[in-house]
């Protein structure tokens, strides 16, 4: 009798082991089967989400039959539980194990935010806070408070202090994250240009070079003209001639600018109006990109002291006032019907 009982017990164990192995193998094979999706699905994993919570979510979505099975499976493979928070794009044909591996690697969706050349700080911060993918932590901060958080210097004006570039980020990044990178990138690039500069340039500091770059940025969007315009302004500074550039007038007008400037606007003093001040304005007037900074440090040699918009986005450069006045009569006082002071949109011709 004891022998029969032992055999029955042994048989029961064997059956249980076989059944367990079959169920385990069945569920494990399920982990490597393609997910039941026909298009890319975006999955957000919040900070603090546990592995088992995520598995229950996948069970509810029909991606997994038994979330409890993953509790046992993860004990055998603890390395699978190191999932990272973020936003993931799950493509058709991927298996659940592929997804878990993706989340262990932190292969999240990379979003992009672009600081546009020539935009003011106000325009940039408005666009930044309009992006729902970015956490706005600076909305209630003054400019001084913002700059203290970003740079540690509350007295540094924010205008022009963030490199105009495209920045990648993951959903949930803060405005501070992006602005610190943009400021750090500006400082790094500016320092490299300053260290290799021609010391005859009329800049007393890297900050003055950024001021010049911002004026260049606002004067033209034509890459080939940046160094030409830099040359005009550098020559003017060297001979003590006023810059007399309209974008500085517009910036000084602030909200009172409604699309055009008058002779009275040119004569009305503001800290930025280069028709009334003898040097560079006190701060930049916009955000700048690398090209404008390079142009500020590499002005094109020549004798031009004037330029005027042709109306197609480019400029006519003149060495004498007489030539300049003739160009003004030609391009400004007899404007063509499709006149524009900035370049046409990409892909179009004037």
Per-residue pLDDT tens for 45-59?
A: 988 899 999 999 999
Spell out the residues 6+ positions from residue 2 whose beta carbon is closer than 8 angstroms to its own.
Answer: none
pLDDT tens digit sequence for 73-121: 888 888 889 999 889 999 999 999 999 999 999 999 999 999 999 999 9
User: Position of tokens 């009305």?
Assistant: 268
pLDDT tens digit sequence for 166-221: 999 998 899 999 999 999 999 999 999 999 999 999 999 999 999 999 999 999 88
pTM of the predicted structure, to 2 decimals: 0.81
Neighbours of 253 (CB within 10 A): 16
Correct CATH for 29-105 of 2.60.40.10, 3.40.190.10, 3.30.1490.480, 3.30.1220.10: 3.30.1490.480
Neighbours of 314 (CB within 10 A): 18
Band (pLDDT 50/70/90 cuts) for residue 136 is very high
User: Position of tokens 């900074």?
Assistant: 293
| DSSP letters spanning 277-345 | SSS--SS-SS---HHHHHHHHSPPPS---EEEE-SBS-EEEESSHHHHHHHHHHHTTT--TT-BSSPPP
CA distances from 183 to 120, 130, 154, 189, 286 (A): 15, 20, 14, 10, 14
Domain boundaries, given as residue ranges, for the chain: 29-105, 112-188, 206-331
d(CA 87, CA 99): 12
Q: In this structure, are residues 261 and 253 in contact, taking their beta carbons and an 8 Å threshold? A: yes
């Amino acid at each position: 009798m004891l022998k029969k009982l032992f055999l029955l017990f042994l048989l029961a164990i064997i059956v249980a082991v076989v059944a367990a192995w079959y169920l385990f193998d069945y569920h494990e094979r399920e982990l490597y089967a393609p997910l039941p999706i026909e298009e890319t699905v975006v999955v957000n994993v919040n900070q603090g989400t546990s592995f088992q919570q995520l598995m229950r979510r996948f069970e509810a979505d029909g991606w997994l039959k038994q979330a409890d099975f993953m509790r046992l499976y993860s004990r055998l493979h603890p390395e699978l539980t190191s999932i990272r928070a973020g936003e993931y794009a799950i493509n058709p044909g991927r298996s659940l194990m592929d997804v878990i591996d993706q989340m262990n690697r932190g292969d999240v969706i990379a979003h992009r935010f672009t600081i546009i050349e020539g935009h003011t700080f106000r325009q940039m911060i408005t666009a930044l806070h309009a992006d729902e993918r970015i956490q706005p932590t600076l909305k209630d901060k003054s400019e001084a408070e913002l700059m203290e958080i970003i740079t540690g210097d509350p007295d540094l004006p924010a205008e022009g202090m963030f490199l105009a570039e495209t920045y990648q980020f993951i959903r949930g990044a803060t405005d501070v994250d992006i602005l610190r990178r943009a400021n750090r990138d500006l400082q790094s690039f500016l320092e490299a240009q300053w260290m290799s500069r021609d010391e005859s340039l009329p800049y007393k500091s890297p900050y003055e070079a950024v001021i010049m770059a911002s004026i260049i940025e606002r004067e033209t969007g034509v890459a080939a003209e940046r160094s030409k315009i830099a040359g005009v302004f550098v020559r003017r500074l060297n001979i003590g001639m006023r810059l007399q550039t309209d974008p500085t007038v517009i910036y000084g007008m602030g909200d009172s600018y409604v699309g055009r400037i008058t002779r009275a606007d040119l004569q009305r003093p503001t800290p930025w109006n280069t028709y009334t001040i003898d040097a560079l304005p006190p701060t930049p007037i916009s955000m700048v990109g690398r090209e404008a900074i390079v142009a500020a440090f590499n002005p094109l040699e020549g004798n031009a002291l004037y330029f005027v918009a042709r109306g197609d986005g480019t400029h006519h450069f003149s060495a004498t006032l007489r030539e300049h006045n003739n160009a003004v009569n030609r391009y400004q006082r007899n404007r063509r019907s499709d006149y524009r002071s900035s370049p046409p949109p990409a892909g179009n011709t004037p």
